[in-house]
Amino acid sequence: MRILVAMSGGVDSSVVAGLLKEEGHEVIGVTMKLWEGDNGEMPETGCCTASDSEDARKVASLLDIPYYVLDYTSSFSRSVVNNFVSMYSQGFTPNPCIECNRSVKFDHFLDQAIKLGCEKVATGHYSKIINNKGTLELHRADFIEKDQSYVLHMLTEDKLSKVLFPLGTISKPRVRQIAAKLGLSTAFKKDSQDICFVGKGDYRKFVENRIDLHASGNIVDIDGNIVGEHKGIHEFTVGQRKGLPGGLVEPRFVLEINPSTNNVVIGKKKQLEKDSFILKEVSFVNDIYYSDLMIQIRYNSDPIPCTITELSNESLDVSLTIPTVGISPGQFGVLYSGTKLIGGGRIENKMKAKVLN
């Protein structure tokens, strides 16, 4: 089988290419150039850097497989970077990695696979595809501490039929052992944690450099009393504690960001708790599913039992059985039943947020 492997320059995708080559498949490696500096070259910090591309090239050379770098900077800038800036300027907390998977990576990789005559696309994500009586389902990885299914919730069953996740049953230490055995230079390379287009910089300055904000406003308490000022709502996220006015007996947290008034509402941690919210732009892997559901509201958060009510084809009302903190508009809520991923969408507050005393 001819397989197109998305090679990021990290150990995971390197091992995927190596394993598939060992299995006798015809492997083609591809790195996406998604972001570039002022000189038109790949960045030096973050993920998807110039050094990452060079590491991927070295692995492809060692494995003796064709390797290409494909330029999708325009699509990435339009769909991911502009969205990132716009979301923060409106008081939301975006997840650019999910947006990249949703709007850029998989669509382009699948299109490129067709052009190169490949039957499948493979990536280094830790997730599993299970064939359940002819239905392809997306499941959590066996080693839950590395599970990445959350960032793949936008994949439909049709796309799953064209995708492989070879690391879904392998632990990270085992992946590094395989890489070392194959002689791959990426065997002990650290995982990147930075946003590729921000790198080690401050996302706030990144936003400021790309949009004329001039949007100072007030920091207010839950009763509307002014307790401080700020220079722009893009400097805050729901749940934030750092950078708020001090001198209070109890710590205060950002409860709400109001772009229409530029007010940032703060309060006690207990007041962060919510028991319901809306999911917009919802997609499902298979058919909609209603029973035995849990929702994950952040990449590394624990799933919470919930029930859902369908409001429209792309909108759900989510009710939590346990009120929780950390529900940030702009982030993604992803629904599971056991290990099976059902679907997900972007979190929005209801018209009037419910504050629990």
Range from 74-83, 118-127, 192-201, 241-250 that averages highest in pLDDT: 118-127
Instruction: Give me the architecture of the 2-124+166-182 domain, per CATH.
Output: 3-Layer(aba) Sandwich (3.40)
* The pLDDT value given to residue 355: 36
100 is catalytic: yes
Give tens-digit pLDDT for 257-272.
Answer: 988 888 999 999 999 9
- Domain boundaries 273-348, CATH class: mainly beta
* The pLDDT value given to residue 334: 97
For residue 64, count other CB atoms closer than 10 A to its CB.
Answer: 8
Contact by Cβ (8 Å): 256, 217: no
d(CA 90, CA 242): 20
- Where in the chain are all domains bearing CATH 3.40.50.620? 2-124+166-182
Burial of 337 from C-beta contacts in 10 A (0-12 / 13-18 / 19+): middle
Q: Which tokens in the block code for residue 179?
A: 């890489």
**57 CB-near residues (< 8 Å, 6+ apart):** 31, 67
Rounded to an integer, the average pLDDT of 349-353 is: 61
Q: Is the pLDDT of residue 154 over 90?
A: yes
Residue among 48, 100, 118, 306 flagged as catalytic:
100
d(CA 187, CA 179): 5
Q: Is the pLDDT of residue 29 over 70?
A: yes
Q: Which residue has the higher pLDDT, 38 or 245?
A: 245
Range from 36-45, 239-248, 266-275 that averages highest in pLDDT: 266-275
* The pLDDT value given to residue 157: 96
d(CA 41, CA 35): 8
Band (196; pLDDT cuts 50, 70, 90): confident
Q: Which among 264, 207, 215, 272 is positioned nearest to 236, based on CA atoms?
A: 264
- Where in the chain are all domains bearing CATH 2.30.30.280? 213-271
Contact by Cβ (8 Å): 275, 356: yes
Name the fold adopted by 213-271.
SH3 type barrels. (2.30.30)
Q: State the pairing for strand pair 293-296/332-337.
A: antiparallel
Mean pLDDT of the chain, nearest integer? 89
Q: Which residue has the higher pLDDT, 195 or 34?
A: 34
Q: Which among 33, 48, 27, 32 is positioned nearest to 116, based on CA atoms?
A: 27
At residue 315's C-alpha, the angle toward residues 314 and 320, to 5°, is 140
Residue among 47, 118, 196, 306 flagged as catalytic:
196
Q: Is the pLDDT of residue 40 over 80?
A: no
d(CA 190, CA 209): 30
In 3-state terms, what secondary structure has residue 217? Answer: strand
